[in-house]
A and B are shown apart, each in its own frame.
Chain A
Amino acid sequence: MENESILSDVLLKQLMAVGQVDVLVGLPTLNNAATVANVAQAIHVSFTRDLPRLRTVMINSDAGSIDGTPELIRDASFLQGDVVQTSYSLRTTHRVVTPYHGLPGKNTALQALFAAAELTQANTLVVIDPAGPATTADRVTELITPIWRSEVEFLTPRYRRHPRDGALITQLVRPLVRGVYGVEIDEPLGAEFACSGRFATHCLEQDIWSQDAATFAIDLWLRTEAIANNLQIGQIWRPATAAAAPTTLRQAVRQVLLSLIVALHAHESFWRRTNEVTRLHTWGDDHKKCPSASEWDFVTLANQARGDILEIQPLLEGILDPPVLSGLMDDLNTGDPRLDDEVWVRIVYDFLDASNRGSTGVDHLADMFVPLYMWRAARFMSLTAHETDDAAQKRLNTLCDAFQRLKPALVDGWTVEV
C-alpha cells in the first residue's frame, strides 16, 4: 500500500530548487494576515543582514488561510525600508509558500517543515509564531544562533509572565514537566522553538504524527521528546505576547491532559529513572517587564467546578486514592476552594496513573479532569488575589517542588498491576 506523502509535489519541486541549506525557518500559518508580512520581513532581514553567508530558506506552511496570508508572504517586497540590508545579501534568498498536505493542524504543518528540513539537510530548524507582533530580525537571529553554533540542540522560548497569568502552564504543565522529567522548562507549550536538523529527523521517525494527541499537543510532545532523548536544551527570553485563545478553557485543559498522557506513555523509560532537576541556560535579554494578569471570575469558576465535581464523584472513586478523594471532598464542602498543593499533585498523578491502568478511557479521564483543574485554578486565584507578585511566585515555586517531591507516588501508581 502506498503511504500518503508528507510533502506535496509542489513543495518537493520547490525544495529541489532550494537544495541543501544551513538554516530553515518555518512559518506555519492560518489566517495571520495581520502580522505575517512583518514576521516574514523580519526573517528575511535576519537572513540577509545577520547570516549573509549561510544558506537559508523560509518556508511558509499554510493550513488553508482565507485571509490572503500566503499571498502576503509571497508578494511581500523585502526592499521596502530594507534596502541596505538586502543589498548585502550574498546569496539567493528563497521564499517557499505552500499549503500543506493532509489534515489541518499544527502537527501536519510541523511534519511538513521537519520533512523539508530533512530533505534540505538543514543544520538548524526554527519555527516562528506567525502571530508574533513583536517578532524582529534580531529575535529571529537569536533563535537561530545557539542551534547553528551547536551550543544547544533544542531552544525553547521563555516569557516573563505574571504569576497569576497562564494558570494551565503554572498549575499543571510547567510543574509536572519539571517534577517528572526533571528539566526546568518554563514554557512547555511555547509556539516557537528552534532545533537541530538531527532532532527534526528523529522526530519524523516517531510514531506520533498520526495520533490524535499530535493534533493538539505537538508543542509539548516536542519538548518532552527532546528531554527524553537527552538533548542539550536551552531557553531564550522572548517578549510576552498576548496568548492566542483558539479553544475554550475546557478544551484546552482536556487537550493538555491528553498530551501529557501521551508524552508520559512515550517516555516512560526516561522519566521513571529521572530524579534530579536540571536548570537550563537562558539566552537573550530578560527585560523583566511583566505584563499584568488578566482578571479571573474565580468565584463563578469555583461554583461551576464544585457542581461538576459533585456530579462525577462516583466516577472519581475509581480514579483517585481514597485519601485524595476524601481531601478533595472536604475541600469542596468548605466555602472557599482550599485544594492544597499536595492534594492537587496527587490528583494529577492519580489521573495519569489511571491512564496507564486503562480501566477508564483517556478521553473520559480528560473530561473528568477538567472540573478538578478549574477548582484548583480558582483556588490559586482566590488565594493570591490580594498577595504580592513575589508571594504568588513563591507559591508557584512551592508547587513545582511538590510535583517533584511526590513523583514517587506517580511512579508507584504507574506500576500497580490491575
Chain B
Amino acid sequence: MAIAAPTPVNASILAQHLVRRFGDFVAVNDVSFRVQKGEIFGFLGPNGSGKTTVIKMLIGLLPLSAGSAWVEGLDVRVDAEAVRERIGYMSQKFSLYDDLTVAENLQFYGRIYGLTPTRLKQRIDDIVQLNGLAPYMNRLAMRLSGGWKQRLALGCAMLHEPQLLFLDEPTAGIDPVARRQLWDLLFELSGHGITFFVTTHYMDEAERCNHVAYIYYGKIIADGTPDELKKLPDVQPAGTKRIEIITPEVTRALRLARKIPGIRSATIFGESIHALVEDDFDPADLRAQLLKGDITVTDIRPLKPSLEDVFVELTEKHQSEIEAARA
C-alpha cells in the first residue's frame, strides 16, 4: 500500500520509515504504514518481531531512532505528551490494580486523565452501560474472570474518550466466548468512529480486521485488507490452486499426500488437509493414490487461502530470502 503524501489528513496513524535500534540490534527496520480513521487495524507477527516496540514508539514511550510518526495529527517526536492524552492503551497482560474494585480502578484512571467529578461519573456510567460491568462495580478486580478483566481494562483505557485505542494482544488467554464478546464490543465502538490498533496471534481475529499488516523480524512484509493479501502472488503462485481433502485418517493421509507429485505443500486442519497443488492436478488421481494406502477420502474441494496460509507462505518466503542473503 503506497503512502500518498506526508500529511496526516484522514489518517489516524501515519508511520513513515520507522527505525528503532537497541545497540546493534535493529528491532524495527524501516516500517511504514497508514491507519485510516475508524479502521480496525490488525498488527500481526510472531513474538519478538517488533510489534510492541512499534506501539511504544507510536505512543511516545520509545524515542524513534529514525523516521517519523503522526498519531491523531500530532508528531510523536514533538508532542508525545499530547499524543498520550488522545490515545488509550491496553497492554498485553492485565495491568490494573487487582486489589482495587472495578469502580475504584475506573475512578483512578479517570482522575489521572483529569476528568472533572461530574464528567467522570458520566463517563463511567456510559462505559458500564456499554460493556456491561454494572453488576461488578464493587467487586475486586482480582475476582473478575479473564474476559471481564479485559473489558475493565478496555473501559479504563477509554475513559478519556480517546479517538484511537492501542490494544496489545487484548484477547491473549481469555476464553472463546469472552473473545467473541470483546470483538463485538470493538466493532460497536468502531461504528462510533473509534480507531483500533490491535495486535493478535489469532487468525480468526485477524480475519475480522478491516486492514492488516504483518511484521516479520522488524520489517513489514504484508499490508492490506485480508482479501488483498489472499490474492498476493507470493501466496497464490501462478499455476497453483488450493484444495481441501476431507478424510477420517488425516495423519496417515498427510504422510502419503506429501509424496505425491503435484502437491507442493500440505498441512492438517482438524479433520481435513489443506494443500497447495499444481493447476492441472487431478483430484481423482489423488483419491486413487490414497485408496491404495487404504485411506478413504470423503471429499475433495477447492479452497480459498486463509490468512494463516498467507502468513505461513510469506514467512517461509521471507525466511528463505534471509537465509539466502546470509549464504
Query: Is the A/B pair a real complex?
Result: no
